[in-house]
Structures are given as C-alpha cells and as structure tokens.
Amino acid sequence: MNLVYLSLAPALFAPGIGSRAARPFAPIALLGVATVQAAAAIAVALTVSGTKTIAGGYLTTDATARLFLVLINVLFLGIAAYVWNRARTAPELADAVSQFARLSLVFMGAANLVVLSNHLLAGWIALEATTLAAAPLVVRAGVASSRRASWRYFLFSSVGLAIALTGLACLARGLEESGHSSTFFLHELRTLSGGPPNLWRRLGLVLVVLGYGTKLGLAPMYSWLPETYDEAPPSVTALLAAVQFNCALVCLMRVLQLFRAGDPDLVASELLVLGLLSMAVSTVSIIATRNYKRLIAYASINHAGVIAIGLAIGKSATYGVLLYVVSNAFIKAILFLTAGKIRAHYGTKDTREVAGLIKDLPYSGLFLMVGTFALLGLPPFGSFLGELIILSGLVRAGQVLVFVVFCTLISLTFVATGRTIFPMIWGEPKRDVHWPKQSFLAAAPKLTFLIALVAMGIYMPQPVNALFREVAASLGGE
C-alpha cells in the first residue's frame, strides 16, 4: 500500500528539481523519478488484487486504477527518457528542460491522483490540477502563437471541467431527490446509484459526458486540440495526448461505471452522437491538412470518437475499447515523439517538405511507418484487435447504420493519412543531407512502446488480460 502513496510523490520532487542549483541535474533526476514511479506502479498492479480503499477512502486500488496507473507511468517514463536524450543532445534546452521537469512532476502527481481517486470530486480537482500544470508547458519561449494555443487549451479545459463539475453537482442533487444522502465516494455510490433516473440525474449525466468529452477532444468542443498539440513541444504533446487523455477518460469511466445502468439509452445516444461527429470532423481535417503534427492531432480526435462509440455500445465492445485505449496511448506517444525528432531535424512541420525519412532518419522513419500502421488499425497491433471488437460490437448491437458510417469514415481516414504520410517515409529525399547517426538509446523508449503495441495484438499475458477483463466488467462489459 505504501507504493500507492509513492505514486503521489512526484509533485514533492518538483520544487527541488526546478531550483537553479539543480538545473544541470534536472534531466537525469526527472528520468530517475519517472523510473521509480513506473516501477512502483507495476509493483502495485502485480501485488494488489481486488478493490481496496485507502487514505480515508479517498484512494482506491480497483482494476481501473491499477490498469491506468501502470499505463500513464510507463508512458511518462518513455517521455522522460525522450526529454533526457534531448537535453543531452541540445544543451541550449536547459531552461526548457528544467521547467518541464518541475511542472511535469506536478502534472504526474495529479495524474496519479486522478486514476487512484475514489472520490468523483477529488478526481475532478486532480484533473483540473493536471490542466493547471500543463497549460504553462504548452508555451514555448518567444513564440506568440504557442501562448495563444496555451490560452485556448486552458480556456476549453476550464469550460469542459466547469460543465463536468456542474454535471457532478446535478448528479449529487439527483441522489438527494431519490432520497439518498449526496456523496461522491465511489464505494458509497455503488450502493446508491441504482433506481429509476430522475431529471437531475439525467441532466448530470449529459453534462458530465459533454464536459469530460471536451477534455477528450470530442466534437463539438474539440477545436483546442489540434492547435494545442501542434504548438506545444513534442514532449508536452505526448504528455497531453497519452497521459492526460487517459486521466480524463478515467474520470468519464468512473461516472459511467456508477450511473450508466440507471439510464443506458441516454448515455449511449449522447456518446454515439459525439463519437460520430468527432470522427466526421477529424476525417475532413485529416484530408485537408498538410502539417504532420496536426494530422496526428486530428487522428487523436478520430480515436476519441472511436472510443466514445465503443463506450456507447458497451457490453462486448468494452474489452475492445480498453485494448484500443491502451494501444492508442502508446501510438500517440510514439508518433508525437517521432514528430518532434523530425521537426528538430527538418525544421518544418509541412509534410511536403519531408521525404525519404527511412533513408535520412532510419529510426524515425521506422517509428513513423509502424506508428502510422498502428494508427490506421492494421494488424498485428492492439489497435487492430480493439477496433475489430468494437466493430463486431456494433453489429451485435444492431447498429448497422453506425457501422456503415464508422467504416466509411475509417476508410477515408486510411486513404487520407496514407496519402500524406507515406511519401514522407518512402519518397525521394528533397535535399541531400547527411544527418548525424541516431543512437539506439534515443530510440529505446519508442521501441519499448512498439513492443507493447505488438504484444497487445498478438499475445496478452494472463495477468494483464485478467486486468483488462476486470475493468471491462466494471463498465458493464462481457
């Protein structure tokens, strides 16, 4: 159990790492803290079983908490390794690395609190804290457009979270209307949230899905996402896309675990509409864009749409949703970190200016290629299996129209992404430039993510599979 408390420790290291005296050691200290965190998270997942509450009932170690604790800490370790390597190869980034180390540790402390939280409001506060820590990280010194993007991120996040908070207040009011005392503790809500839905509860559910949906980048409130992911440094984009996305998803899943059964049709309809709308707008944007970072950002909106549709269907699709969620966290981390490497070398984000990556930057070319295959949901990656299960869930649920629209949008995304990315990988290099050799060490984090991605599509170890099934069951999955 002490290891669970250790998950909240990163924030304690933040002031020390951010100090001027510690600046030269910030990258290695960040890597060290991230390594300990990831090890602790894995140890918690392996040693704790069942649902236990600690810290006066405010924290839980249920299956959802364990799965996402491991996921976000392993991802953070990869991001920290990337930052350590960037600091090694670009000493002029010392100030930026120091600021990243300080704020990212606060961010991770809050992120761990989100996934471990056994209290809906505490989870909301922790998610808001991740936003407060991440907003300054989006700003790049001397770049006005990044300040604008940071503000847009903060504005939309604040609005989304305000809507979610209003929804939580309405859910509490709904409990009072049903004759229960209002509580936000998950273990208490599990015993109270049954019974017929009332108007407050329905309003609360709609607002919570819309509010947390904004944090996930779901349409209609998605416009912050492409701009923020494009303007933020790659390490921060990876942090937002791979870690914070999953924190927001955990908050949404907690509410669905508790309140969905009372009004399944309402939740399903809202999630289906938001999901299809997100897939549609992202597909159009992917076709139009010539900026590879924005393309990956639009693909993230597309993925959020797929996840929303999978959650809407529930039942047999739930296991697929979880596979898809975990796979996509790794895919986004690989692609955004690779995009950072490409941007650092070519000095542009225009897809037409980058060609022949597989010859110029073999590791980056390989990661972009494999990441794109996984992004498009090709076998043998976990995303393929996840998408397949969601599609089969749609057919089983009799949602034929949604199935047809889903397949059409996915096909269009496939063609548009391939048309833009493949020339970057295999096209003729536009300039005859000899880049410095890429070290294996720099590629190691992304390689680890890649192995995890393939493993999820081919062979899932029994304990991991059992954890996935436990989380799926908590969401009403089969």
Partner 1 sequence: MTGVLLAFIIVALVPLFVATWRTSLLGLSLQGGLIAWLALRHSATLSFGSALTALDTVGLRALAAPAVLYAAMRALKVPPRNNVIAPNLLSWAIAIGLVVVAFRSSDVLVPPEGEPQMLVAVSGSALVLGMFVLSTAQGTFSQVVGLLRIENAIALFELGGSGHSGALGIRVGMTLILLVSVGLYRWYVLHVPRDDEADSDADTETAVL
| Contacts to partner 1 by CB under 8 A | 58, 83, 86, 90, 92-93, 96-97, 100, 119, 121-122, 125, 128-129, 132, 135-136, 140-145, 147-148, 150-151, 154-155, 158-159, 162, 165-166, 169, 184, 199-200, 203, 233-236, 340, 343-344
The tokens for 169 are: 């207040």
**What single letter denotes the amino acid at residue 387?**
E
Q: Which is nearer to partner 1, 95 or 478 (CB)?
A: 95
Residue 147 is encoded by which pair of tokens? 């300040």
Find out whether 414 and 47 touch, Cβ atoms under 8 Å.
no
Q: Which of 148, 149, 124, 150 is nearest to 136 (CA)?
A: 150
Instruction: Find the shortest distance in angstroms from Cβ 445 to partner 1.
Output: 15
SS3 assignment, position 117: strand
Nearer to partner 1 (CB atom), residue 262 or residue 310: 262
Q: Which helix (H) or strand (E) holds 428?
A: none
* Minimal distance, residue 222 CB to partner 1, in Å: 15
Shortest CB 86 distance to partner 1, Å = 6
Apex 52 CA angle, 320 and 328, nearest 5: 25
Decide whether 105 or 286 has the Cβ nearer to partner 1: 105
Please, what is the minimum distance in Å from the beta carbon of residue 145 to partner 1? 6
Determine the distance from the C-alpha atom of residue 286 to the mean position of all C-alpha atoms in its chain, rounded to a whole number: 19
Cβ count within 10 A of residue 469: 16
Q: Which two tokens stand for residue 359?
A: 């010859």
* 329 closest CA partner among 38, 74, 100: 74
Measured from the CB atom, is 33 or 337 closer to partner 1?
337
Structure tokens at 184: 């936000």
User: 3-class DSSP state for residue 365?
Assistant: helix
Query: C-beta of 105: minimal distance to partner 1 in Å?
Result: 15
Q: Minimal distance in Å, beta carbon 434 to partner 1?
A: 20
Q: How far is the CB of 428 from partner 1 (least distance, A)?
A: 26
Question: CB 450: neighbour CB atoms within 10 A?
Answer: 20
Which ranges of 139-198 would DSSP assign to H, the alpha helix?
Answer: 144-177, 186-192
Choice between 93 and 266, CB closer to partner 1: 93
Closer residue to partner 1, CB minimum distance, 236 or 374: 236
Measured from the CB atom, the residue of 171 and 370 that comes closer to partner 1 is: 171
Q: Which is nearer to partner 1, 128 or 360 (CB)?
A: 128
Angle between helices 26-47 and 10-18 (to 10 degrees): 170
Helix (H) or strand (E) holding 248: helix 245-259
Q: Taking each helix axis as running N to C, give the angle between helix 362-375 and helix 440-458, from 0 to 180 degrees, rounded to the nearest 10.
A: 20
For residue 54, give the nearest of 11, 6, 13, 105 by alpha carbon.
Answer: 6
Closest of 108, 103, 102, 100 to residue 82, by C-alpha: 100
138/424 with CB nearer partner 1: 138
The nearest distance, CB 388 to partner 1, in angstroms, is 37
Q: Which is nearer to partner 1, 144 or 462 (CB)?
A: 144
Q: Dihedrals φ, ψ of 117, to 5°?
A: -65, 135
The three-state secondary structure class of 356 is coil
Q: How far apart are CA 273 and CA 268, in angstroms?
A: 9
The letter for the amino acid at 375 is L
To partner 1, the closest distance from the beta carbon of 235 in angstroms equals 5
Q: Which is nearer to partner 1, 158 or 438 (CB)?
A: 158
For 476, list phi and psi in degrees, rounded to 5: 85, 15
Closest approach of Cβ 154 to partner 1, in Å? Answer: 6
Taking the complex as a whole, the smallest distance from the CB of residue 166 to partner 1 amounts, in Å, to: 6
